[in-house]
Copies of this chain bind each other. A is one copy, B any other.
Amino acid sequence: MSVNPSFKAATLHDVARVAGVSLVTASRALSRPDVVSDKTKARVQQAVEATGYIPNLLAGGLKSKRSLMVAAIVPALSVSQFLPTVQALTSSLAELGYQVIVGQTGYDDEQEEAVLNAMISRQPDGIVMTGLVHSQRARERLQKAGIPVVETWDLTERPVDRVIGFSHIKVGSAVAGYFLSKGWTRLGVATGSDRRAMVRHEGFVATLGRDVPTAVVPAPSSLALGRRALVELLEKDPGLQAVCCSSDTLAQGVMVEALARGMRVPQDLAICGFGDAEFAAHTVPSISTVHVDGPGIGRLAAQIIVSRSRGEPVAQTVHDLGFRLIERQSTGG
């Protein structure tokens, strides 16, 4: 950890010596101030200042079984959809003295297991997944180990432990219902290839009652992929009226391509996104989308993990935070 061999960081032992108290007292003065007399507390505080003491949480965690670390596992950090969640999680936890370790699965189930093992070896007080845990071995291992796990951005009756999210089937269904209510008939779908997007697609098709031209693009989605998706969809159906997209980024790409071809949005082509990214409300025309409370997911996850790691009971297993369809200009709203 240090590369400077001559330097020895101050330990609690040094603090105790300088303060003229025992090691235990110094420890208590810092972690349980109410149990120590004001005088000695002050002396310990001074000793901390004097020595420049910074506690070693590795050592503390080893003994106390509380690492004060939480693992956050995402497909990839660059999937901007999850960023507000991870950011809120990190901030909420930081306020309570917890830090976040990040792991990336690359949308790969084998890597997921490897990443989870890497995380477990750091003894986190909790694990927050974006998405469900897919590897069966990992599920069992997590369950056996009894580490608090919060799966997010999805729902299931049987989470490993707790789950915070919303129904992707219902999202797809809601968008399809909305399209039907608008009377559009020549529909298309531009979707990422990830599991949750596919489930939304299922919901969309199920409610529609029939299949529609679909362009599947690899994750993570991008503006360029959105443009390419529209090209593909227009080849399949030049008379396309409305496109349902699996992300706002994709929707923006579809819109850029449409406008570049001289199509008017929404008159010639209506577009709906997903996620309610910051920009969706401010493009011209603005993008209709499905709003999800990303930061809320992160905050609630933080709260649940901390409660559980403190041994407090968390009754509810499944937290459905729902979603909201937001009608903007890109669908004539």
User: Which residues of A are at the interface with B, using a C-beta cutoff of 8 A?
Assistant: 1-5, 7, 9, 52, 54-59, 61-62, 65-67, 69, 76-78, 80, 83-84, 86-87, 90-91, 94, 97, 99-104, 115, 117-125, 141, 144-148, 222-224, 227, 249, 252-253, 256, 259-260, 278-279, 281-284, 308-309, 311
By a CB distance below 8 angstroms, the chain B residues around A7 are 144-146
Give the residue of B4, B256, B259 whose beta carbon is less than 8 angstroms from that of A145: B4
Give the residue of B78, B94, B117 whose beta carbon is less than 8 angstroms from that of A87: B78
Q: In the complex the two chains form, is B87's CB within 8 Å of A83's CB? A: no
By a CB distance below 8 angstroms, the chain B residues around A227 are 282
Q: How far is the CB of A251 from chain B (nearest CB, A)?
A: 12
Q: In the complex the two chains form, is A94's CB within 8 Å of B118's CB? A: yes
Name the residue on B nearest A256 (C-beta).
B284
By a CB distance below 8 angstroms, the chain B residues around A223 are 278-279, 282-283
Q: In the complex the two chains form, is A1's CB within 8 Å of B87's CB? A: no
Copies of this chain present: 2
Given contacts A65-B2, A123-B58, A309-B3, contact A9 B145 (CB under 8 A): yes
Q: In the complex the two chains form, is A62's CB within 8 Å of B65's CB? A: no
Give the residue of B61, B78, B102, B283 whose beta carbon is less than 8 angstroms from that of A84: B78
How far, in angstroms, from A62 to B1 measured CA to CA in the complex? 10
How far, in angstroms, from A78 to B59 measured CA to CA in the complex? 32
How far, in angstroms, from A80 to B278 measured CA to CA in the complex? 12
Q: In the complex the two chains form, is B69's CB within 8 Å of A101's CB? A: yes
- Pairs across A and B, CB under 8 Å, 20 listed: A1-B123, A2-B145, A3-B148, A3-B309, A4-B146, A9-B145, A52-B141, A56-B121, A56-B123, A57-B122, A58-B62, A58-B123, A59-B62, A77-B86, A78-B84, A78-B87, A90-B102, A99-B103, A222-B282, A224-B279
Q: In the complex the two chains form, is A58's CB within 8 Å of B147's CB? A: no
Q: In the complex the two chains form, is A67's CB within 8 Å of B58's CB? A: yes
By a CB distance below 8 angstroms, the chain B residues around A87 are 76-78, 104
Give the residue of B62, B78, B253 whose beta carbon is less than 8 angstroms from that of A83: B78
Q: In the complex the two chains form, is B256's CB within 8 Å of A125's CB? A: no
By a CB distance below 8 angstroms, the chain B residues around A309 are 1, 3
Given contacts A67-B1, A147-B2, A282-B223, contact A121 B78 (CB under 8 A): no
